[in-house]
Amino acid sequence: MRKKPELLAPAGNMEKMKMALLYGADAVYLGGKAYGLRAFGGNFSREELKEAMEFAHGLGKKVYVTVNIFPHNRDLAALPDYLRYLQEIGADALLVADLGIFTMCREIVPEMELHISTQANNTNWATVRAWQALGAKRVVLAREMSLEEIREIRQKCDVDLEMFVHGAMCISYSGRCLLSNYFTGRDANMGSCAQSCRWKYALVEETRPGKYFPIEEDERGTYIMNSKDMCLLPHIADVIGSGVESLKIEGRMKSVHYVASVVKAYRLAIDAYFDHPDDFHIDPAWIEELEKVSHRPYTTGFYYHQPTKDDQLYGTSSYIQTSEFVGLVRSYDKETGWALVEQRNNMKLGQEIEVFQPTGPLFRQTIRAMRDEDGEEIAVAPHPQQLLYMKMEQPVEPYTILRRDYQA
């Protein structure tokens, strides 16, 4: 029987990290305040990094820290101290892309496990072997790879392999983008991407400034570089069969709701496959779960064929979703049936909500009673992150998400 692959989730901040692990991830990847490629993802202070390690290790799970920028000389001075700190607090691995940083890691913290980021453009078995020979424990494969290519690399290499299975696709090769820097001065390769590929573009002829010609037959212009999102859950049997050790979800800048929902859907799918490999089928509820979070229409990317126009979004960069996050359960009193809830969106009496739990059953109920922190009855909770008490029809766990059908 093939070994169950690791489910690896993004963690943009402490809350997202906890939600990812509680909803089923085996490991998370996150960044400190420097050296990572998501400068606006929240990220972790040194104290928070230590807390993250303690929380994850307490659950028997792992934390990988991104050190995957492409550094300039000025960035290297503080790196040795940072690497030693990550080793001291027990980071399970460092995720790197630059050969210089890789070499410094080998010299300064030689016992630490090193993973090679997708930013290093790992698209063939020779590259994977080269990184292994240098001492890498794992190589993250580029998104621009097919199932057959991944299978061939697995056959020819014995280093751990990691692949993306869900999340945003990038117009630039393995994320090596210069658009953001060109348009805004924000360097994507230093973690400050402005997502210029999602903007609306039109054609301008040099001698006719101010006159915009649509590239497609659409007066609004066109989103010529705006890809659909990757989703391989319907093909999870093929993914597992490819032999990779880790399945990676993209999205350190996505919401708590996104992280929890996507992680749990993939957790259920992976576990179901290993429980019944000879009678495995995709549960429509897993796909429905992925539709509830904010996303672009889904594609399989490069996995089965070279992307075509059907894998791009030419008319809009808007997201779609079927549910919205309205509250997060902080605690629950079994004797009274009241839950302490942190409001995340306006909610009121009479609304039907869906109760989405880390391990407990999914159910729906109507909001029948709410109280403020002083115990006074309230009919509406309009204030951001307001704490309130809500009567629940069934027991709920801490970190349960309350959501309602999306209201456009």
Q: What is the CATH number of the domain that holds 381?
A: 2.40.30.10
Domain membership of residue 176 (yes or no) is no
b/e sequence 111-125, b meaning 16+ C-beta within 10 Å: ebbbbbbbbbbbbbe
Can you give the pLDDT at residue 397? 97
From residue 291, alpha-carbon distances to 191, 296, 322 in Å are 28, 9, 6
User: Do residues 94 and 239 both lie within one domain?
Assistant: yes
In a domain, 179, yes or no: no
Q: Which domain holds residue 105?
A: 6-171+229-306
250 belongs to a structural domain: yes
CATH number at residue 294: 3.20.20.70
Judgement on whether residues 126 and 253 belong to the same structural domain of the protein: yes
Within this chain, do residues 237 and 341 fall inside the same structural domain, yes or no?
no
269 with 235, same domain? yes
Domain edge (last residue) among 274, 306, 338: 306
Are 22 and 75 part of one and the same domain?
yes
Residue with tokens 């292994």: 132
Q: In this structure, are 276 and 380 located in the same domain? A: no
Residue 156: how many other CB atoms lie within 10 Å = 12
- 215 falls within a domain: no
Q: Which residues pair with 160 in a beta bridge?
A: 138
Shared domain check, 107 and 16: yes
Q: Which of 306, 335, 365 is the last residue of a domain?
A: 306
392 and 302 within one domain: no
Tell me the C-alpha distance between 104 and 96, whole Å.
Answer: 11
**Do the Cβ atoms of 150 and 128 come closer than 8 Å?**
no
Would you put residue 121 in left (φ > 0), alpha (ψ -120 to 50) or beta? Answer: left
The neighbouring-strand residues paired with 370 are 378, 390
Give pLDDT tens digits along the chain (408 positions).
Answer: 679 999 999 999 999 999 999 999 999 999 998 887 655 556 899 999 999 999 999 999 999 999 998 899 999 999 999 999 999 999 999 999 999 999 999 999 999 999 999 989 999 999 999 999 999 999 999 988 899 999 999 999 999 999 999 987 766 555 556 666 656 766 665 556 666 666 666 667 778 777 766 555 444 445 556 677 889 999 999 999 999 999 999 987 788 999 999 999 999 999 999 999 999 999 999 999 999 988 878 888 888 887 766 655 555 555 678 899 999 999 999 999 999 999 999 999 999 999 999 999 999 999 999 999 999 999 999 999 999 999 999 999 999 999 999 875
CA distances (Å), origin 279, targets 6, 236, 247, 275, 377: 22, 14, 22, 9, 51
* Three-state secondary structure of the chain: CCCCCEEEEECCCHHHHHHHHHCCCCEEEEEECCCCCCCCCCCECHHHHHHHHHHHHHCCCEEEEECCCCCCHHHCCCHHHHHHHHHHHCCCEEEECCHHHHHHHHHHCCCCCEEECHHHCCCCHHHHHHHHHHCCCEEECCCCCCHHHHHHHHHHCCCEEEEEEEECCCCCHHHCCCHHHHHHCCCHHHCCCCCHHHCCECEECCCCCCCEECCCCCCCCECCCCECEEECHHHHHHHHHCCCCEEEECCCCCCHHHHHHHHHHHHHHHHHHHHCHHHCCCCHHHHHHHHHCCECCEECCCCCCCCCHHHECCCCCCCECCEEEEEEEEEECCCCCEEEEEECCCEECCCEEEEECCCCCCEEEECCCEECCCCCEECEECCCCCEEEEECCCCCCCCCEEEEECCC
- Do 239 and 345 belong to one domain? no
Do residue 261 and residue 380 come from a single domain?
no
Q: Which of 354, 343, 330 is nearest to 380 (CA)?
A: 343
Cα gap 306→216, rounded to integer Å = 21
According to the model, what pLDDT value does residue 219 have? 44
Residue 1 lies in a domain: no
Residue closest to 390 by CA, chosen among 344, 329, 346 = 329
Among 306, 334, 356, residue at a domain's last position: 306
Res 218: pLDDT:
47
Predicted local confidence at residue 407, as pLDDT: 72
Within a domain: 188: no
Q: Which tokens hold the place of 92?
A: 């399970």
Q: Which of 76, 67, 74, 85 is nearest to 31 (CA)?
A: 67
71 and 129 fall within a common domain? yes
Residue 222 within any structural domain of the chain: no
Distance in angstroms (rounded) separating the CA atoms of residues 333 and 398: 11
Name the domain count of the chain.
2
In terms of domains, do 248 and 395 share one?
Answer: no
Its sign, for the CA torsion 26, 31, 37, 39, is: positive
Query: What count of other Cβ atoms lies within 10 Å of the Cβ of residue 353?
Result: 20
- pLDDT at position 207 is 81
Residue 316 lies in a domain: no
Q: In the structure encoding, which two tokens stand for residue 71, read together?
A: 């550094």
